[in-house]
Amino acid sequence: AMPTKYHKLSELRTEPFCQHFGTCGGCKWQHISYDAQLNYKHQQVVDTLQRIGKVEIPEVRRILASPERKYYRNKLEYTFSFMGWLTEEQIKDETAEYDRRVLGFHTPGRFDKIIDIEHCHLQPEPSNEIRLFIRDYARENMLRFGNIIKQTGLLRNLIIRTAESTGETMVILQCYREHQAIAPLLDAVYAKFPQITSLNYVLNDKGNETFHDLEVVCYRGKPYIEEEMEGLRFRIGPKSFYQTNSAGAYNLYKVAREFAEIKPTDLVYDLYTGAGTIANFVARQARRVVGVEYVEQAVLDARVNSDINGVTNTEFFAGDMKDMLTEAFTSHHGHPDVIITDPPRAGMHEDVVQRLVALRTPRLVYISCNPATQARDLELLDEVYKVTRVQPVDMFPHTQHVENVVLLELK
């Protein structure tokens, strides 16, 4: 449903800062004051843990605000479309002519409709400048923008990754097929933006835009960028996972480290380790850290991140968590003193939860990007663990998303 008339505006309402608000599918909470957003997210965590988890929880710490309200993302993904979505205002304006070849975001609820974006407030420059240059170059040189439904055309998708701590920038251009126009386009981009550290392209004729199983060609520069955190450098490739709010991630990891209370004699398990960011972040406090991750490329990234930082007390293993976290695995690698788990939105497989119950680890830190599935898992863990600390963290201002960190200790 869509509102047709406002009779009275809430006192919590504020003027959206983006010209695309209401049409673009992102930043849907712009019209709510940031303090009110934090209050809603804080209460969401409390209600979810109590209603779904049905577990006793201590007083929930005040939610940590994002260090930045705008330009906080280090990664954005845009889609090309030969037939962009027009707003109601554009349709009514009979005097103007609009170029329907667009590069932007999906409209809410429509995978096949793309709105052209003039300025996005999510990622720092040169993100907007690069996107607009590529769009305008493609228009002027008559390059074919993609047809999402028919999966035809040339230009498909654009990903821009930035690392604020190092000033590095990565660009990944996805094309449906090989074409002689790709090289001149990339040359023009690099000539205009010589600060680009890593310029890449992918040929993708699949039915979706994922490219984890495809070759990424590094056209100019190096095949990665690096982000820095507490003196550690983390290498980020085109396929690497890295928290999209770098400053917010630092808040999140500091909370996890505080809750873990790692001692120099401790063996730490880092489950769903990704590129080993948390594992390397806490390794200096631990005797040894064992990371487990489903995605094999991420495990390779994690090992590289340990190597470039001179971290020698980490080990990383690839495999499905429910198949990896077995009695044989813990017998071989040692019984953990601390477990840090940071699963995807779906939460942990029930077999993994039951294994954690059987392990009876003294301290279990559960990081979640979905309090609902976290609460479901906490109900199962309640058999032997009690929740002793809860800290919500806002990583995505102006959206409904909230991260939450929970400390569980043996009853």
Give the phi and the psi of residue 198 in degrees, each rounded to 5.
Answer: -140, 115
Residue 288 makes CB contacts below 8 A (sequence gap 6+) with 267, 268, 313, 314, 315, 334
Query: DSSP letters along 148-181, please?
Result: TTTTBSSEEEEEEEEETTTTEEEEEEEESS--TT
The residue from 18, 120, 175, 369 that is catalytic is 369
Contact 360/327 with Cβ under 8 angstroms? Answer: no
Encoded tokens for 48:
């979810």
Dist. CA 356–CA 146, nearest whole Å: 47
- What is the chain's length? 411
Sheet of 75-81, strands arranged across: 110-116, 102-107, 75-81, 155-163, 168-175, 198-203, 216-221
Amino acid at 390: V
Beta bridge partners of 410: 385
Between CA 341 and CA 364 the distance in angstroms is 8
**Closest C-alpha among 355, 373, 370, 380 to residue 400:** 370
Cβ atoms of 309 and 239 within 8 Å: the answer is no
Angle at 172 between CA 163 and CA 113, to 5 degrees: 110
**Structure token digits, residue 341:** 């788990």
The reply to whether omega before 126 is within 30° of 0 (cis) is yes
Instruction: Give the dihedral of Cα atoms 79, 84, 87, 91; nearest 10 deg.
Output: 170
Q: In 188-219, which positions are buried (b, 16+ CB within 10 angstroms) versus exposed (e)? A: ebbeebeebbbbbbbbbeeeeeebeeeebbbb
3-state secondary structure of 79: strand
Q: Is 120 a catalytic residue?
A: no
Backbone angles phi, psi at 92, to 5 degrees: -70, -25
Q: Which residues are catalytic?
A: 369
